Homo-oligomer: A and B are copies of this chain.
Amino acid sequence: MSDLPEEFAIIATHFAPLSGEGALNLSDDAAIFTPPKDRELVISADAIVETIHFLPIDPPDLVARKLLRVNLSDLAAMGATPHAYLLTLSVPRTTPKTWFAAFAAGLAADQKTYNIHLLGGDTSSTPGPISLSATIIGHVAPGTALRRTGAQPGDSLWVTGTIGDAALGLLALQGKIPDPTSHLSARYQLPIPRLGLALYGIVHACMDVSDGLLQDAAHLARAANLTAEIEAAKIPLSPAARAADNLQLCLTGGDDYELLFAVPPASEPALLAACAAATIPVTRIGRFLPGPAQLRVLDAQGTPQPQSAQGWSHF
């Protein structure tokens, strides 16, 4: 369905060089993909929309990389090895060639970083904001994909990296808060998928934090039919996030793309070793307890915080 001016030239110039094995140079109706032998495939699709998930001022190469990384984070959450991706772009007819060149350069950079290639996709026009979608394909040894279900009473709750930087980064890019080191805006524009951890047999459950730590921790609790308890004071914050002094936003804002784990006590040394080997910081922030499927947040004094319909109202 060609409706974009010079669609075929755009594909040949900017996207065909990104294609790899099975993509047939993006010149056929579909890709042919021979699955790696004796592996299960892990597949996910995420869309990002201009003004909703990225800003019109965001550089196109960072938008491309964010699109890939948001999808790669889903593979990280399953413990999968990335392999390839498909892409659909809906962009205004007036989009300049320089946009496509920069966007493709971003894809190229992250293809190299994550050892993936383009398998196929579609480019069309839209009268609205830029709408992008990617489907990412990875693989695992059969039966070893990490799952959201499976946390047990007595497991501790761990999170990688720091929380809240991206949500604060959006405010910084909107000029609402200072960001002297650009740390916050960088975390918003360029998430870091936590790939490369070998956690099968170590964690009971895993997911990525994309919708806000509290909401996602509540998902883990519901998936296990347990109560999850988080100690707010233990949540890892970057120096820039501490300076911003907005814990409420950090815990609910989303776009972190960190990983959240349920870990049995006996496996904690193995978790620490695996994270150290991958140079990924990890912090114990809570635990799973028998009880109703819910999330409980404790303040620095150990007092449970009330949850309103709108979320946690104060820390």
Contact = CB atoms under 8 A, between A and B. Distances in A.
B47 A124 contact: yes
Interface in A206-236: 207-208, 210-211, 215, 223
A108 interface: no
Nearest to A47: B88
Contacts of A34: 40-41, 142
B52 A3 contact: yes
Contacts of A33: 40-43
Interface string A119-146: 1111011111101010111101010010
User: How many copies of this chain does one complex carry?
Assistant: 2
Contacts of A126: 49, 52, 128-129, 131
A255 B1 contact: yes
B3 A90 contact: no
A27 interface: yes
Interface string A193-210: 000000000000001101
Interface of A: 1-3, 24, 27-35, 40-49, 51-53, 70, 73-75, 77-78, 80, 86-90, 119-122, 124-129, 131, 133, 135-138, 140, 142, 145, 147-149, 207-208, 210-211, 215, 223, 254-255
B148 A30 contact: no
A92 to B, nearest CB: 10
A86 B211 contact: no
Contacts of A124: 47-49, 52-53
Contact of A90 (B131, B145, B147, B207): B131
A120 B2 CA distance: 26
